[in-house]
Structure 1
Amino acid sequence: MENTSQSTSLKLVAYVELNYLRYLYFAIVFMLYATIIIINAIIIGIVCTDKSLHEPMYIFLINLLINDVVGGTSLCPSILVYLLSNSSEISREYCLVQIFWLYVYGGCEFVMLAVIGYDRHLSICYPLYYNSIMHSRRVSNLIVFSWIFPLSLVSISVTLASQVQLCGNTIENIYCDNYCLNKIACSDMTHIITFDTLLIFLISVPQIFLLLYSYAKILQICLRASRESQKRALSTCMPHLVTLLNYFIGVIFQIIQSRFNLTQVPTVIHSIFSVYFLIIPPLLNPVVYGLKMQQIKLRIIKILMDK
């Protein structure tokens, strides 16, 4: 196999097969990306400008939506450029940049969802002590942790990936991810695979336990509460549960498209699996929270009526 470890470019071969309908795909991705920016900006703007919404729940929501915008922006513009370009080449440096932001987005999203679940647990199980427990310093610390913890781990992973020697230059996707890069590597990957396994463990397992613990406590309280209290708790938790479900669907699609042989699957289906994680959560999250959280919904209605 030809050693291309010194090569400065890789090929995203999926764009070659998407070329025959590239203008249609460009229009679809562009409209979805523009919608992501607009609806997230609306919710972020409402929460930031309305002082009555400056509560921990809404502050955590703002960080989730900012991360959604970062995730969509990290790859959607480059996808649009490649759809209009005759070239499917990508520099190795930019490939690593894509990997970095893809995993920062995914890692931050899950940590933030775990923090929001913990916040819902406190508000439902300890309503009288909620404000004293979730004080401004704790909120700030949780937000900083949600960003810095995944970012630090992913930085180490991408630094290790940058040292890998490559014996190929073909990426069978519309963007780079670590697994695709590992498939064309010819150097020893043991230390990188070990660290990536540790990264997945640290970002997923503690958060899963926190979510399970939070919802076990919420369920325990709801079973002893009145029907009206149960409805209020369900209404409070529903946006978070929908967001969690959507996140896990995106992760499953991401695993399918990167780790399984999809040579028999049409490239457009493969590409849909690839972009689901980048487009659907950022598209759905502000809609779910905007419709389900009464204060935000009332604020949106008031803005529309004033106009």
Structure 2
Amino acid sequence: MKNSSSSSSNMKSLYFQFTLFTDQGSLRYLFFSLCLLLYMTIVSANLAIILAVCLEKSLHHQPMYIFICCLSCNSLYGSVGFFPRFLMDVISDTHLIPQTACFIQIYIIYSYLGNELTLLTVMAYDRLVAICQPLHYHRKMTGRKVACLIFVSWLYPAFNMSVCVYKVSRIPLCGNKLNRVFCTNWPVVQLSCEDTTVMNILGGVSSVVSVSIPLTFVLFTYLRILLVCRRSSSEFRGKALQTCVPHIVTFVNYCVTVFCEMSLTRYKVTEKNTLFVVVLSLECLIVPPINNPLVYGLSLPQIRGVIFRGVRVFRKVSAGKQKIHREQEHLK
């Protein structure tokens, strides 16, 4: 009996258990269908943006659209790290995840959030140069510089999260229950057998610095843009507004969702507020990937035009195939 108990204990130590999933009976299949539809919508919308930018050669020479394409790629990256596992848990009776898979999910989700922030910061710099120094824009935003900015915007979060996940994975744990529906950093640290005060302070300082520097830079860029627009013609202000509003909406949306996620680190989960915690924690993984392609796809005429042309071509091809099929049936 002791060997069996010891084996069971060792088995549990290799897994984390999500505690916020509740037994919804047959309703879980409805939730699964809705979440799957949401996932397919995110994938389809972001793929439409990526294809529109990649297939339209005239957009290849405009850095703003390259950054938008990277933003959509990042949305797909974050969604792949979350939705497949979440969909499995929605219809599953047990909600256990291997520790290795949990740490991989933490890395993907947090690096996705970091990539989003750095890309939005780079896009703010692009708008600053385009609006405040339009005559020097093509000299400053060369293809090499754009590639370098994209590389750095991906490299910094990747390195930062690699160090963070490595440190968390080395912590000795005295439990396996996570009060979340997916793996996040703070609930895992709370399971530590040792005092993590120093790690919590360093993590908090790192988070504040990582968020405050890009936020300050973005606010500075838009202050400069606002001052330039005040001294310019109404036509210039209209064009500047057309390219800046999607970025402002996306950045504000990102800040709100990340603030909700960070607020959960100080929030004590009880049975009465389970739904509130689930909704709040899912915002950063659902809202930006849906918001970004809708905002840029509907607001920017270049992308909207490419997408609409693609839809028309697809309809013509489908109609042609149906016509050929009917003619073949008639000949039979």
**Short-chain TM bin:** over 0.9
1:199 aligns to 2:206 (yes or no):
yes
CA RMSD of aligned residues (A): 1.9
1:168 aligns to 2:171 (yes or no):
no
User: Residue 267 of structure 1 corresponds to which residue in structure 2?
Assistant: 274
Aligned 8 A contact 2:13 2:175 in 1 = no
SS in 2 for 1:176: coil
What do residues 33-79 of structure 1 show as CA deviations (whole Å, max 9, x unaligned)?
A: 10000110011001001110112111111111111111111011100
Aligned 8 A contact 1:4 1:167 in 2 = no
TM-score by length of 2: 0.87
Query: What does 1:146-295 align with in structure 2 at a 5 Å threshold?
Result: 146-263=153-270, 265-295=272-302
Deviation at 1:6, TM superposition (A): 8.3
CA distance in 2, matches of 1:253, 1:22: 25
Query: What does 1:64-213 align with in structure 2 at a 5 Å threshold?
Result: 64-213=71-220
Aligned 8 A contact 1:160 1:192 in 2 = no
Which residue among 36, 59, 62 is the counterpart of 1:30? 36
Aligned 8 A contact 1:4 1:169 in 2 = no
Aligned 8 A contact 1:153 1:199 in 2 = no
Residues 4 and 256 of structure 1, relative CA distance in 2, 3 Å threshold: farther
SS in 2 for 1:90: strand
SS in 2 for 1:11: strand
Deviation at 1:103, TM superposition (A): 0.7
What do residues 120-145 of structure 1 show as CA deviations (whole Å, max 9, x unaligned)?
A: 11111111110000011110110000
CA distance in 1, matches of 2:124, 2:222: 8
Aligned 8 A contact 1:157 1:195 in 2 = no
CA distance in 1, matches of 2:43, 2:179: 28
Aligned 8 A contact 2:179 2:269 in 1 = no
Which is worse superposed, 161-170 or 181-190? 181-190
Gapped regions of structure 1 (runs ≥ 5): none
CA distance in 2, matches of 1:63, 1:19: 40
Which is worse superposed, 29-38 or 206-215? 206-215
CA distance in 2, matches of 1:297, 1:10: 44
Aligned 8 A contact 1:239 1:288 in 2 = yes
CA distance in 2, matches of 1:41, 1:74: 16
- The structure with more radius of gyration: 2
SS in 1 for 2:192: coil
CA distance in 2, matches of 1:265, 1:146: 40
Tell me how many residue pairs correspond in the alignment: 305
The code of the aligned residue for 2:53 comes to V
SS in 1 for 2:135: coil
The code of the aligned residue for 2:47 comes to A
Which residue among 45, 56, 61 is the counterpart of 2:68? 61
User: Residue 48 of structure 1 corresponds to which residue in structure 2?
Assistant: 54
Deviation at 1:197, TM superposition (A): 3.0
The code of the aligned residue for 1:253 comes to C
Deviation at 1:264, TM superposition (A): 5.5
Larger RCO (CA under 8 A, 6+ residues apart):
1
CA distance in 2, matches of 1:305, 1:162: 51
| % identical equivalent positions | 34
User: Residue 5 of structure 2 corresponds to which residue in structure 1?
Assistant: none
Residues 105 and 203 of structure 1, relative CA distance in 2, 3 Å threshold: same
Deviation at 1:192, TM superposition (A): 2.9
SS in 1 for 2:174: coil
CA distance in 1, matches of 2:32, 2:12: 32
Gapped regions of structure 2 (runs ≥ 5): 1-8, 316-332
CA distance in 1, matches of 2:218, 2:235: 24
